[in-house]
Structure 1
Amino acid sequence: MNAVGIDVSKGKSTVAVLRPFGEVVASPFDVSHTGSELKELADFIKKLPGETKVVMEATGNYYEPIARYLHEQNLFVSVVNPVLISDFGGNTLRKPKTDKKDSLKIASYALSYWVDMKKYVPQEDLRKSLKLLNRQYQQASKLKTMMNNNLISLLDLTFPGINKIFTSPSRESDGHEKWVDFVLAFPHCDMISKLTIKAFARKYKKWCNSNSYYFTETSCKKIHDFSKECISSVSSEESTAFA
């Protein structure tokens, strides 16, 4: 029984090999995540006599290329939840934290739960890509919400409440929101309130045409009336929110 414990980090991994009763077959050593060094590691593992299992933690995306490579080399690979490793042996987790100690701990865990080790099977490329795209979408959505909230906070100083005047959903063709595009052109209520309704209508209609938005006299008057009632915290000359 050869338990190969791999502590995976960014750019390199630390490897240790243990056998039952604490026999150290290979003291912890580092392996860079390059094709040549991973091949050397796979060749080394294959030469170990007896049954061998390679165990590592599911550490973000770092473990995936190593696990996949060793799996393709026909080695038994198991990827374990880090929480299980951290609780193993009664430790609350790695105090102090060292890659060498962690690789030995992972190998020791593998020996203790030898028969329970589940074989790693790489995800299908399509499924993996969909999961990656979903994570990117979630991050982009959070960023968009954060930026929108920040913009609304700035508008509270220059044009408070203007975002609530627009009810149009995001445009399907490019994701643009009308209120966001509008305040980029009219960031301060004074830019509208100091104009006559006819003067603003000309500007607003021109803006709608330039940005592919539908113009109506009703919405134009609604915005103009709102700007007349709006109270800003800073003057248009002093405003730096959209500088």
Structure 2
Amino acid sequence: MSNNLFISVGIDVGADFSFMSIALPNQTFWGKPFKITHSNLNSLDKAILTIKEAEELNSLKARIFLESTGIYHYPLFCYLRDKGFDVSVINPIITKSSTNINIRKVHNDKFDSKKLALVALKPDLKTSVIPSNLVLDLRNLTREYYNLVDCRSAYVNKLQGELRVSFPQYISIFSKLTVETSLVLLEKYTSPQAFLSARKSSVIKLIMTTARFGVAYAEDKYKRIIEAAKSATAFGYAVPSNFTLIKLYISFIRKYNEEIESVLNLMYKLVDNHSDETFVKQIHLLESIKGSGFLSAVTVMCEIGDFSVFKSPKQLFAYFGLDPAVKQSGKFIGTDVKMSKRGSRIARRAIHTIALVSIGLTRKGDANNPVLRDYYLSKCQSKPKMVALGAVMHKVCNIIFAVLRDEKEFSIITPQQHKLNFLNSTSLAA
């Protein structure tokens, strides 16, 4: 038999159990779908014996394919790999886009495992790479970081909602409602009546000890708070529970701040402890990009995983879900083209942040990245702002790919200089 022939084992992975189907090279199934219970070692051993029996009876080696399920496939992948099997992971987009093997619309775990086994027989199948432990550690932490940030944002919105009812004028006093001075004042006084009855010296002292901007700043803030409190007595309605909730939401925001800071510190320690690894060096390369900080660099690299699998910027666009979702059938060509958004949502979030910072201005009024800002402004002349920003995100992806490919820190180059460098490189090559 040809060495290219193999038995395909498709495993549809769930949280507590998985279903396994075995397909032969002629696309027929060997036996029935087999249920694997993750918490039962006997069930796992039976699955191993079933695969080995299929190998012996058909005189072919088995290749095992698991559908990526976020986190649940990792233990099963490592278990099967350690047993000596050839194990790969398939992106669920590939299996979902494959032609249905049944004319009926069927979707269950048994059927999905059979479908996965048949899809895996394709010679041009693309499989995913299991990341290293360092990548997994940092990926878990970055995803939890964003989860905590989103939870904190939810309580900030709740806090604003309570203030809009009971103390609406307070919201605009500080540049940001959640700065330390604002939270401390709300914790201590909370209601407009409490501010009005408090000693001026006590409020000013509290502002100075938290803001540390001096007497003039504290006097100005106190004056605005008192004016807001007086206005709230005319426009504003509250019952005691409103002020109870304000204090409760502030305590939640503080707790989330602590946890966010803790997770970020863990990321710094992990990177510092693995400074010699290629992956960490790639993080530092991305940090050199204007608009990218430590968090954005770690996030992007964790979602990329192994950069060596990407051969062009277009592959990176598609992986991040920044590629256009093309709508075309016959003579019809859709003009309302949007991002496919099929890839990593967190990676898009990080790239969106890098793009926003890149086109922004410093405190002195200088552009963070003059080239990208000029590009953005030129796009805005003919496109909506969000479309223009999407184009900048594509540019950022190009920069990320170039920096990682060339293993060189980022430097701002004008389009003219870039063209000149390209012409010089092609002439030297000739």
Q: Same fold (TM over 0.5)?
A: yes
Q: How does 1:126-165 map to 2 (within 5 A)?
A: 126-165=134-173
**TM-aligned CA deviation for residue 168 of structure 1:** 6.8
Q: Which amino acid aligns with 1:161?
A: Q
Pairing 1:14–2:19 present: yes
1:48-94 deviation line (CA, Å, top 9, x unaligned): 231211112111211121112212222111211112111212479x9
Is residue 54–residue 78 contact of structure 1 (8 Å, CA) maintained in 2?
A: yes
Instruction: Name which of 18, 39, 44 aligns with 1:38.
Output: 44
Identify unmatched segments of 5+ residues in structure 1.
171-175
Greater relative CO, 1 or 2 (CA 8 Å, sep 6+):
1
Q: More displaced, 141-150 or 157-166?
A: 157-166
**C-alpha separation between the residues in 1 aligned to 2:84 and 2:62?**
11
Across the aligned residues of Structure 1 and Structure 2, the Cα RMSD in angstroms comes to 2.9
Task: Go from structure 1 to structure 2 and tell me whether the alpha carbon gap of 1:185 and 1:110 turns closer, same or farther (over 3 Å shift).
Answer: same
**C-alpha separation between the residues in 2 aligned to 1:28 and 1:66?**
17
**TM-aligned CA deviation for residue 27 of structure 1:** 0.8
Is residue 192–residue 224 contact of structure 1 (8 Å, CA) maintained in 2?
A: yes
* Counterpart residue number, 2:117: 107
Q: Secondary structure at the match of 2:44?
A: helix
Pairing 1:166–2:189 present: no
**TM-aligned CA deviation for residue 208 of structure 1:** 7.1
Give the length in aligned residue pairs: 228
Is residue 13–residue 30 contact of structure 1 (8 Å, CA) maintained in 2?
A: yes
* Counterpart residue number, 2:223: 221
**C-alpha separation between the residues in 2 aligned to 1:91 and 1:208?**
71
**C-alpha separation between the residues in 1 aligned to 2:202 and 2:138?**
47
**C-alpha separation between the residues in 1 aligned to 2:12 and 2:161?**
45
Q: How does 1:65-84 map to 2 (within 5 A)?
A: 65-84=75-94
Identity score, percent: 25
Q: Secondary structure at the match of 2:23?
A: strand
Q: Which amino acid aligns with 1:184?
A: E
Identify unmatched segments of 5+ residues in structure 2.
1-5, 245-430
**C-alpha separation between the residues in 2 aligned to 1:91 and 1:107?**
11
**TM-aligned CA deviation for residue 21 of structure 1:** 2.8
- Give TM-score, length-normalised by structure 2: 0.48
* Counterpart residue number, 2:180: 177
Q: Secondary structure at the match of 1:61?
A: coil
Instruction: Name which of 191, 196, 199 aligns with 2:194.
Output: 191
- Give TM-score, length-normalised by structure 1: 0.80
Pairing 1:233–2:236 present: yes
Q: Which has the higher strand share?
A: 1
1:15-70 deviation line (CA, Å, top 9, x unaligned): 11110334321310111113723344234324423121111211121112111221
Task: Go from structure 1 to structure 2 and tell me whether the alpha carbon gap of 1:83 and 1:242 turns closer, same or farther (over 3 Å shift).
Answer: same
**C-alpha separation between the residues in 2 aligned to 1:184 and 1:232?**
22
**TM-aligned CA deviation for residue 120 of structure 1:** 5.5
**TM-aligned CA deviation for residue 169 of structure 1:** 9.2
Q: More displaced, 221-230 or 20-29?
A: 221-230
Task: Go from structure 1 to structure 2 and tell me whether the alpha carbon gap of 1:142 and 1:161 turns closer, same or farther (over 3 Å shift).
Answer: farther
Q: Secondary structure at the match of 2:174?
A: coil
Q: Which amino acid aligns with 1:42?
A: I
Structure with the greater alpha carbon radius of gyration: 1
Is residue 7–residue 63 contact of structure 2 (8 Å, CA) maintained in 1?
A: yes
Q: Which amino acid aligns with 2:106?
A: P
1:158-215 deviation line (CA, Å, top 9, x unaligned): 1113233224797xxxxx733233223322212223x27xx24325636876xx6648
